[in-house]
Amino acid sequence: MTNPIRQFKSVVKDRLFYNRFEYAISFTIDEASALRNLDHTEIDLMIQRRREWRGMALQRWQKSNNAVGNILGRRRKEITDQTVEDLHALAELLLTASSDFKLVVSVNQGHVYTNDLILLDQLDQFDSLTHKSYSRASIARPRNTIKLKDPKHQFRSYFKLTKITNEQKNQLTSFLLNQHAVRLSPALTSWIDGSFNRTQDYFFIDHNEMTWLTMLSLVRPGLIRKTMQIIPAK
């Protein structure tokens, strides 16, 4: 039965999800990352490896007097037969779907993007999925643009997800902190002050000149994944 009270959160974008899909469902299911390739054999292999690893890890932690180790041990949730059954059932539902979709998984989180409301209904009725939420892409600005109230810059450039060395981070940090005509995102500013070296794809820099990216590329080549024009929100 179609869920009559399902509410879609409008996500304001310059294009559809993955440039193809209008709707999305997000959910939680244990061991969701085992679904990455939607293959029944691979699901069983992944679960077998995880059970073996967690069994060995639990034995080590039980022998340890280390408080942190004991806490970590308690967080390693058992993979039940019901969990495996649920994973296979969800995989079969998606493998037999007649419409196009994209599945994205990470740890215990899953996202399915589609244009098919019937597929969304089927996932909505899947009891093993919890914390379900729904989104709908709302095209409300020109392509490759981002709207801001009272913008101070013309462009916003996003980083790639990449790991750099301590020396590369020091060079990049020194360069960025000496660029007074740009704005660093709050997450990027925190990263500069922190100890982690991996950049995230949500780090961004607002700037006025495209030639500024050329200077950045001399410090760290290939760091920028996309640049969008900033336009004023009316």
Could you tell me the residue ranges of all domains in the chain? 8-139, 145-232
Mean pLDDT value across residues 57-73: 58
The pLDDT confidence band at residue 62, using thresholds 50, 70 and 90, is: low
Read off the pLDDT band of 199 (50, 70, 90).
very high
Average pLDDT over residues 60-79: 60
Average pLDDT of every residue of the chain: 91
State residue 71's pLDDT score: 47
State mean pLDDT over 164-170. 95
Q: Confidence band (pLDDT; 50, 70, 90) for 1?
A: very low
d(CA 33, CA 183): 36
Cβ atoms within 10 Å of 21's Cβ, excluding its own: 19
Q: What span, in angstroms and rounded, lies between the C-alpha atoms of 50 and 63?
A: 20
Mean pLDDT of 184-213: 95
Q: Check if CATH label 1.10.3470 holds for domain 145-232.
A: no
Least confident of 76-85, 93-102, 187-196: 76-85
Residue 79 has a CB neighbour count (10 Å cut-off) of 18
Note the Cα 19 to chain centre separation in Å.
16
Position with higher pLDDT, 72 vs 233: 233
Q: What percent of the chain is modeled with pLDDT above 90?
A: 83
Which of 5-19, 96-110, 162-176 shows the lowest per-residue confidence on average (mean pLDDT)? 5-19
Q: At what angle do helices 40-63 and 67-75 cross, to 10 degrees?
A: 150
Q: How much is the pLDDT for 63?
A: 62
Predicted confidence (pLDDT) at residue 188 exceeds the cutoff of 90: yes
- Mean pLDDT value of segment 57-78: 60
| β-strand pairing of 204-207 with 145-148 | unpaired
Mean pLDDT of the region 157-179:
96
Confidence band, pLDDT 50/70/90 cuts, at residue 7? confident
pLDDT band of 78, cuts 50, 70, 90 = confident
The stretch 6-26 carries a mean pLDDT of 94
Q: Above 70 in pLDDT, residue 65?
A: no
Q: How far is 27 from 165, CA to CA, in rounded Å?
A: 35
